[in-house]
Chain A
Amino acid sequence: MPIIKATDVSCQRGQFTLFEPVSFTLAEGQSLLISGANGIGKTTLLESIAGLRSIQLGNIEYKSIDLLKSKDQWFDDSFFIGHKTGNKKELNCLENLRSFLQIQGIDVSEKQAEDALDKVGLAGYEYQFAGSLSAGQKKRLALARLTLIKHTVWILDEPFVNLDVAGCDWLLKLLNQHIDNKGILIITAHDNPSIRKKITHELVLEMQR
Chain B
Amino acid sequence: MKPFLSLVKRDLTLGLRKKSQIYQPLVFQLLVVTMFPLGLGSGAKTLALIAPAVIWILALLASLLTLDQIFKNDYDDGSVESYVLTSYPLSMAVMAKVLAHWLLTGLPLVLFAPVLGVLLHLPSSSYGVLMLSLLIGTPIFSFIGSIGSALTMSLKHGGLLLTVLVMPLLAPVLIFGAGAVVESALGNSASQHLLLLSGMLVLSFTLVPFASAAAIKINLE
Contact = CB atoms under 8 A, between A and B. Distances in A.
Q: Say if the two chains contact directly (CB < 8 Å).
A: yes
Contacts of B2: 102, 105, 107
A60 interface: no
B217 to A, nearest CB: 8
Interface string A74-101: 0110111011111111110001000111
Nearest to B9: A99
Contacts of A50: 85
A91 B14 contact: yes
A196 to B, nearest CB: 27
Given A52-B220, A102-B2, A88 B86 contact: no
Given A53-B220, A76-B87, A90-B17, A103 B10 contact: yes
Interface in A48-88: 50-54, 71-73, 75-76, 78-80, 82-88
Contacts of A134: none
Interface residues of B, number: 27
Interface in B190-221: 217, 220-221
Contacts of B167: none
Interface residues of A, number: 33
A100 B79 contact: yes
B3 interface: yes
B77 A85 contact: yes
B216 to A, nearest CB: 10
A104 interface: yes
B83 A84 contact: no
Contact of B79 (A47, A76, A80, A88): A88
Contacts of B3: 102-105
24 contacts: A51-B84, A51-B85, A52-B85, A71-B87, A80-B81, A84-B76, A84-B78, A84-B81, A85-B77, A86-B79, A87-B77, A88-B14, A88-B79, A89-B77, A100-B82, A102-B2, A103-B3, A103-B7, A103-B10, A103-B82, A103-B83, A103-B93, A104-B82, A105-B3
Interface of A: 47, 50-54, 71-73, 75-76, 78-80, 82-91, 95, 99-105, 107
Given A82-B81, A85-B78, A105-B2, 11 more contacts: A52-B85, A73-B87, A76-B86, A78-B85, A84-B77, A84-B81, A91-B10, A95-B13, A99-B6, A104-B82, A105-B88
